[in-house]
Chain A
Amino acid sequence: MKKVSAFSAMIVMFSVFSSGAFALTADEIMKKSQAAFLYPGSDFKARILMKLISKGGQERVREMIMLRKNYGETGGGQKYFMYFFQPADVRNMTFMVYKYPGKDADRWLFVPAINMVRRIAAQDKRSSFVGSDFTYEDISGRNLEDDTHSIVKEEKIGTRDCTVIKSTPKAAEMEYSYKLSWIDTTTFLPIKEEYYDKNGELYRVFSADEIKGVKGHPTIMKRSMKNILSGHMTEVSFLKADYNIGIEDSLFSERYLKQPPKRWIE
């Protein structure tokens, strides 16, 4: 046991002097992680397969195209456009989000059965995205200034060297008391995240299961979120992913919500 600690200490020391990771503050690491995880490229397209798996193993499948375009710097505005293939009762539905830094997002939903676009009230960013274990915030990111970040330790996950960051929400009414993130020191992608509840119990775990370079951007192609309490989990696979594809501003409009251009939803 002592040997292990001594060894860890050496690794930490080694990291301090060699990689320079500790030269970055926790805030800087989280900023880089946000850039790598949520903002790479000027725009992004992915065909996403989401499996909602119950404790008993029953699966529900959600399949969609997600298009994202950045407006401004990392942490700045973004627009999202989603088109659903599955399940059958939401086929052809589209969903659009204008995300703004520091204020609530605007969201629109198109319901094809009655050919209507309507705004949806969804102020709660911790709400589940399409019934999955991922929240809206997990998908489109959380404002970094909403938490205080501190470095806990350095730790390897598999072959990846990670910095473990503890993020504590400034607001008292959050459902979790803190989150630990294992940020890859090379790619700055989150390899693992653990959410702890008010009693300090672990209840929710994120894991990046497959990372691939796409146009030079390391991209998490497979990820999962597991709810430890309910045993429910969600696996997300990117069937296709691409960056810098020239999504026009006009896509993010009522016109194309109603009639998504074929080339963007293939």
Chain B
Amino acid sequence: MKGRQRAEVRRQKSDIQGQKTELFRLPVFCLSSVLYLLFSSAVFAADFSLHGFVQGNYSRNAETDNPDSRDYKLSEERAQVKLEATADPFRLFIKGDAFHDNIDKHSILELREGYADYSSEKWDARVGRQVITWGVGDLLFINDVFPKDYAAFFSGRPLEYLKKGVDGAKIGMYPGFASIELIAIPYFEPNNYPDPKRFWMFDPLVGVTNRETQDPYRDFHEAETALRIYRDVAGFDTSLYYYRGFSRQPSMMPDSPVAPTKLTLFYPELLVYGASVQGRALDGVLSFETGYYASRQDRQGTDPLIPNTQMRYLIGYQRQFWEDFTVGLQYYGEYMQDYSAYAQYLPTGFPQEKRLHHLATVRLTQFLMHQTMRLSFFAFYGLSDGDYMLNPEVKYNLTDSIWVAIGGNIFGGGKPWSQFGQFAKDDNVYCQIRYEF
């Protein structure tokens, strides 16, 4: 069993960009079986609940066709089932999706979340696939080092699909002076980036098509660990964070620096120390977050293949100006530590990043018609690159169980390789319609 598991974690995907099509990954399957046995006796006494939704989600190009000349970034019908069983002090929760992709013409089952909870007065535990969200940013993540699905975000899927679950264990401890969350993730999950068949985006080595992905694990003791300690300090929600693991964004390693024929995508080792504070101030909510991103494999900053050590920070302010109208503003920066080493060792032909990469965001939200309609606007604006992403959206609850949202993702500005500028040809208009029960 262990050998098979190891084979699983050692697996190398030949195509990182490919849609993840695995159903229930082996570890999760094993876990589920164990949990089933564990809980089957308790289940007779359990409280059950079943909820979910069916949803249509479509996103059409507004600028030009996809690189593979299709019209749609996304076209799918999806059903989700949320099953919960509680028998104190245990709880079992499963959230599973089944969907049909109309573009690639296939149907997929996906375990979004699946975990068991145990809770007592002083501590609790959650084991299995779970979504973890840390930090105080709004669509900006510093200490939320957990996997994201940017393909979902850029192509107009509901916000919850930006977050991916991790397969791991979380222990919560509540000794009174503070609360503690300790997380161990033995199975690495990378971020999901847009598919080059569906999105036009920058690739510095576009000619090199022979690519393979190397997952970080060679051994079990390489499990990612994360820690958060939080408490109230003078009316402010204050957290300290630690993460030891891997960057979820791959780096590229060519087989030859001069004339590469093959690229290996790998996830560099990463260490993060961070803090956040959020509280009521200036007639609104003020947030501050920072994180020191230490590059464990490139401490001198001389390796051009691995991101240099950085300081990241954000300041956010949110305020309600009138009834049901809220404005949120954020400033975010990434400051590179060993910039001269980076500039010196950067291979020719690669675009040089600025030492300070910073951006600002604006969110406007207005509810109307007894909060059944929501008008929202979110914008990223790159202060260092001059690029942007705009996301206007209208959401309306037709009834208490049916809602529809229509919006757009508009990209532009900057350079062809900048964060949002590279998606200049990917503007899209999307529609989400959901019946929830």
Q: Are B159 and A113 in contact (CB under 8 A)?
A: yes
B-contacting 9-mer, from A29-37, A191-199, A236-244, A249-257: A249-257
Whether the Cβ atoms of A87 and B284 lie closer than 8 Å is no
- CB neighbours of B322 from chain A (8 A): 124
B355: CB under 8 A from chain A? no
Q: How far is the CA of A116 from the CA of B137 in the complex (A)?
A: 11
Bound together, the chains give a CA A114 to CA B401 distance in angstroms of 20
- Determine whether the beta carbon of A114 is less than 8 Å from that of B133: yes
Nearest Cβ distance between residue A178 and chain B, in whole angstroms?
Answer: 20
| A255–B174 alpha-carbon span in the complex (Å) | 9
A92 vs chain B, min Cβ distance (A): 9
A88 at the interface (CB under 8 A from B): yes
Q: Does B172 contact A (CB under 8 A)?
A: yes
Cβ contact within 8 Å between B437 and A88: yes
Residues in A neighbouring B319, C-beta threshold 8 A: 121, 123
CB of B189 within 8 Å of the partner chain: no
Q: Which residues of chain A have C-beta atoms less than 8 A from B235's C-beta?
A: 106
Contact B131 A104 (CB under 8 A): no
Contact of A254 among B47, B179, B287, B318 (CB under 8 A): B179
- Would B284 and A123 count as touching, CB distance under 8 A? yes
A91 to B130 alpha-carbon distance, docked (Å): 18
Asked if B324 is at the interface (CB within 8 A of a chain A CB), the reply is yes
Whether A232 and B320, one on each chain, are in contact in the complex, defined by CB atoms closer than 8 angstroms, is no
Q: Is the CB of A254 within 8 A of B51?
A: no
Residues of A within 8 A of B130 (CB): 115
Shortest B40–chain A CB gap in Å is: 20
Instruction: Sort chain B's interface into a size bin.
Output: 35 or more
Cβ–Cβ < 8 Å partners of A87 in chain B: 397, 400-401, 436
B283 interface contact, C-beta 8 A: yes
As a 0/1 sequence over residues 178 to 190 of chain A, the CB contacts with chain B under 8 angstroms (1 = contact) are 0000000000000
Establish whether residues B320 and A119, one from each chain, have CB atoms under 8 Å apart when the complex forms. no
Q: Are A113 and B160 in contact (CB under 8 A)?
A: yes
- A73 interface residue (CB < 8 Å to B): no
Min C-beta distance of B146 to chain A, whole Å = 10
Q: Are A121 and B285 in contact (CB under 8 A)?
A: yes
Q: Is the CB of B119 within 8 A of A114?
A: no
Q: From B28-36, B332-340, B365-373, give the one contacting chain A.
A: B365-373
Chain A residues near B280: list those with CB within 8 A: 104, 106, 119
A93 to chain B, nearest CB (A): 13
The docked-state distance in angstroms from the alpha carbon of A149 to that of B436 is 47
Closest to B319 in A: A121
B-chain residues with CB within 8 Å of residue A130 when the two chains form the complex: 371
> Please, how many angstroms separate the alpha-carbon atoms of A88 and B434 in the complex?
11
Instruction: Check: B361 CB closer than 8 A to any chain A CB.
Output: no
A249, B205: Cα distance in complex, Å: 58
Interface contact A119-B372, CB-CB below 8 Å: no
A118 at the interface (CB under 8 A from B): yes
A88 to B285 CA separation, bound complex (whole angstroms): 28
CB of B129 to closest CB in A, whole Å: 12
B residues lining the A interface (CB < 8 Å): 47, 51, 53, 86, 88, 117, 119, 124, 130-133, 136, 158-160, 162-163, 172, 174, 179, 230, 235, 237, 278-280, 283-285, 287, 318-320, 322-324, 326, 328, 367, 370-372, 397, 399-401, 403, 434, 436-437
Question: Which residues of A approach B to under 8 Å, CB–CB?
Answer: 52, 54, 60-61, 86-89, 91, 104, 106, 113-116, 118-124, 126-128, 130-132, 232, 250, 253-255, 259, 262
Given contacts A106-B235, A115-B131, 13 further A-B contacts (CB under 8 A): A88-B51, A89-B401, A113-B160, A115-B132, A115-B163, A118-B136, A119-B279, A119-B280, A120-B318, A124-B322, A130-B371, A255-B124, A255-B174
9 contacts between A and B (CB under 8 A): A60-B400, A88-B401, A106-B279, A115-B131, A119-B278, A119-B285, A121-B326, A131-B371, A253-B179
